[in-house]
Structure 1
């Protein structure tokens, strides 16, 4: 992927313009007043760690959160902000970034539009990564003991034929990793009825994501039991849909001989 950019660097602000479009990315230090002349998707950072992602309208930017830097993304007219911010939030959560808040978003990106907004999100991520901003944590390793790398899993044709059972956290189901980017959840799956709450009675990030995935498939669920086969995007989505996460789902999918999906696929 090649992207032509024009870059202007000032003391407290870096402006990155896409040469072929009207898109502009601004990276600004937190100051007393930040004025937006276009609606934007924003990313707040504190100590170079992403803490919040959202959208803001024209005018003076206001946030109750403490932040040191803000990245604003003003796309061209054909990119819908609601869907773009949803893509960035999903990307952050999948990379284990703990956001301070999750705004109310559209629950379903139209299939005809998803490819366009995903491609644009990937372009912006490439630009931000080039300038040193990543949608994942970069923590210094501990001197006494280094942190093990996150496990990777490989899909194979052999694995695609295996039915895995799930029996955990009030849910029971059968699932297959039948395609590289798809999990098939068979009809008759029992779902955890109520999401677990935080100590203060609020919904956690996993619970909110699980609810949104359930809303996308609500026409295939009755009384917390699935009435049709459902296609989900990943093992993590299966866990969020069935029992709002809270455990390593790679270890919860078990074949008829007691071998986990993790054991079958871990690299």
Structure 2
């Protein structure tokens, strides 16, 4: 049994788990929150999104569950663990990367998950298989010449989806300068992946600006390269008419 204290208001319910962090349930989109928080974005009793410190483009949500993990957790590692748990629970979460979590961390995260799952279930999380499929996107040659713009957290770029696995990022793109750190003061997975991509293209980067066009292989790589991920990249790429790449290419 896990001991906890809590409080509530007309905006949210808070469950304080002491050394195990805390869980907040928001009745509507919160105006302030930590960039290190993990969010389960809910529509009724189903998850429609997961994110770290970002609630952009979540207007269709009916509630939000915020998980503030313990101090000794690497947030990005636990977030990856969480996506796998959601997949096992029947959700179709689109994870465009793979990472290896140490056995010790895996055991730590599993124990933590067992402790907080009853709380999440009480807040409406369903962990039984659901029929709703994950979003899939189809490459359309008619969009190959469309300049999609990114303007996110100081990063700005023009991107062309030229082929299924070929994204052209134009020179002049502005990159976020520093990879975000976890609570432990280390660079998480997304940051490490982003830094590796930047190292591969080091000759094309000067003063956090892209000096030559480069080719990346996926929406995930584009977002990780430019702003170290942390949000749904399909929603950040916008056409001249204001439509997102998700809207234009999602298979319904």
2:147 to 163, 173, 193: 163
CA shift, 1:180, in A, is 1.5
Q: Distance in 2 between matches of 1:167 and 1:158?
A: 23
Q: Which has the higher contact order (CA 8 A, sep 6+)?
A: 2
What runs of 5+ residues in structure 1 fail to find an aligned partner? 1-92, 102-140
Counterparts of 1:256-267 in structure 2, within 5 Å, are 256-267=240-251
TM-score (norm 2): 0.50
Bigger Rg, which one? 1
Counterparts of 1:1-267 in structure 2, within 5 Å, are 97=98, 99-100=100-101, 142-143=127-128, 146=130, 148-267=132-251
Q: Distance in 2 between matches of 1:226 and 1:96?
A: 24
Q: 1:97 to 1:217 in 2, by over 3 A?
A: closer
What count of residue pairs does the alignment treat as equivalent?
135
CA shift, 1:150, in A, is 2.3
CA shift, 1:170, in A, is 1.7
Q: 1:190 to 1:235 in 2, by over 3 A?
A: same
Q: Distance in 1 between matches of 2:131 and 2:227?
A: 28
Q: 1:95 to 1:161 in 2, by over 3 A?
A: closer
Q: 1:240 to 1:96 in 2, by over 3 A?
A: closer
TM-score (norm 1): 0.48
Q: 1:95 to 1:164 in 2, by over 3 A?
A: closer
RMSD: 2.0
CA shift, 1:169, in A, is 1.8
Q: Distance in 2 between matches of 1:149 and 1:249?
A: 19
What runs of 5+ residues in structure 2 fail to find an aligned partner? 1-93, 103-125
CA shift, 1:100, in A, is 1.9
